[in-house]
């Protein structure tokens, strides 16, 4: 079974959307269309009451393209704009509850790397930097990661650099849950006490493919089911919020890789 970029982007987006719960206020960072589409699909399908804050604008109607417009062209589409420092305060006091992050690497603790490979003074790779990747896992109730290229170097035993700690923060009043799960192009994995546990496996993948492409040991519960295909409601919502399929841009071109996801 071969799979296209579009099918991967669709299933990743809906798998993320299904983790949005009633009452969530989802913050979406810069340049992560799958995260934005997922939050908007959740709002359109099962969680109508959730709020989506992206690019400084709240609950923009009209789809992904509308979020990318200049604020002056968002009149009539949004109830209002949130200054960035205010949105940081919302995260710190947990008025914002969830963010989807796209790291370069994630390990079994849910540690996230968006910084570098190698030593800081002479790295072999330097990514663009994490913005709030270090911050939100210890602020928000939940962070959910996604990675469109599931392979051992993306999901290693230990990330090369801990930009954001996966373990969260526990104080007397507020608690942050850290990175609770990762959605990849092969599976959905939950993090429980320093351990990765397969929640579901995508229809085009298998337990052995997931295991071979993960750099740390995974538990595979008996009840791990196939990730449900997008429902007709979800497909309709995807088409409405992202008709130009910006979500596909985050999925690498599969040329030469199709065999790995072929059964």
In the complex, minimum distance from the CB of residue 123 to another protein, in angstroms, rounded to a whole number? 6
Task: Give me the 61-90 binding string for another protein, x by CB under 8 A, dash otherwise.
Answer: ---------xxx-xx-----x-xxx--x--
Say how many C-beta atoms besides its own lie within 10 A of residue 122's C-beta.
7
Structure tokens at 225: 């089911």
182-241: contacts with another protein (CB under 8 A): none
The residues that bridge with 219 in the sheet, in sequence order, are: 197
In the complex, minimum distance from the CB of residue 119 to another protein, in angstroms, rounded to a whole number? 10
- Residue 73, burial from CB neighbour count under 10 angstroms (0-12, 13-18, 19+): exposed
- Tell me the C-alpha distance between 196 and 180, whole Å: 10
Closest by CA to 150, choosing from 196, 182, 181, 112, is 182
134 binds another protein (CB under 8 A): yes
Q: Which residue has the tokens 């949105």?
A: 87
From 134-142, 186-194, 197-205, 254-262, span contacting another protein (CB under 8 A): 134-142
Q: Which residue has the tokens 């609770």?
A: 180
Closest by CA to 192, choosing from 156, 151, 221, is 221
122 binds another protein (CB under 8 A): yes
Segment (H or E) for 34 = helix 33-44
Instruction: Number of residues interacting with another protein: please give it, by CB under 8 A.
Output: 48
| Among residues 123, 141, 203, 215, the one that binds another protein under rule CB under 8 A | 123
89-118: contacts with another protein (CB under 8 A): 92, 115-116
In the complex, minimum distance from the CB of residue 55 to another protein, in angstroms, rounded to a whole number? 5
Chain positions contacting another protein, by CB under 8 A: 30-31, 55-57, 70-72, 74-75, 81, 83-85, 88, 92, 115-116, 120-124, 126-136, 138-139, 161-165, 167, 169, 171-174, 176
């Amino acid at each position: 079974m071969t799979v296209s970029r579009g099918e991967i982007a669709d299933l990743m987006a809906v798998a993320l959307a299904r983790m949005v719960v009633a009452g969530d206020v989802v913050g979406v960072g810069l340049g992560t269309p799958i995260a934005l589409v997922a939050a908007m699909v959740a709002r359109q399908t099962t969680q109508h009451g959730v709020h989506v804050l992206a690019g400084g604008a709240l609950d923009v109607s009209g789809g992904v393209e509308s979020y990318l417009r200049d604020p002056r062209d968002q009149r009539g589409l949004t109830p209002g704009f949130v200054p960035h420092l205010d949105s940081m305060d919302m995260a710190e006091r947990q008025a914002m509850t969830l963010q989807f992050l796209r790291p370069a690497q994630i390990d079994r603790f849910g540690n996230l790397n968006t910084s570098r490979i190698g030593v800081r003074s002479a790295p072999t790779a330097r990514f663009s930097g994490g913005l709030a990747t270090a911050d939100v896992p210890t602020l928000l109730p939940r962070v959910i990661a996604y990675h469109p290229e599931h392979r051992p170097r993306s999901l290693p035993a230990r990330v090369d650099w801990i930009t954001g700690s996966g373990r969260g923060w526990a104080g007397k009043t507020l608690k942050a849950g850290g990175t609770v799960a990762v959605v990849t192009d092969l599976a959905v994995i939950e993090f429980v006490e320093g351990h990765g546990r397969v929640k579901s496996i995508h229809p085009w993948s298998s337990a052995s493919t997931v295991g071979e492409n993960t750099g740390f040991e995974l538990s595979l519960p008996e009840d791990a089911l196939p990730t449900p295909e997008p429902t007709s409601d979800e497909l309709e919502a995807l088409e409405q919020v992202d008709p130009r399929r910006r979500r596909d841009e985050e999925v690498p071109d599969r040329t030469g890789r199709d065999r790995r996801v072929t059964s």
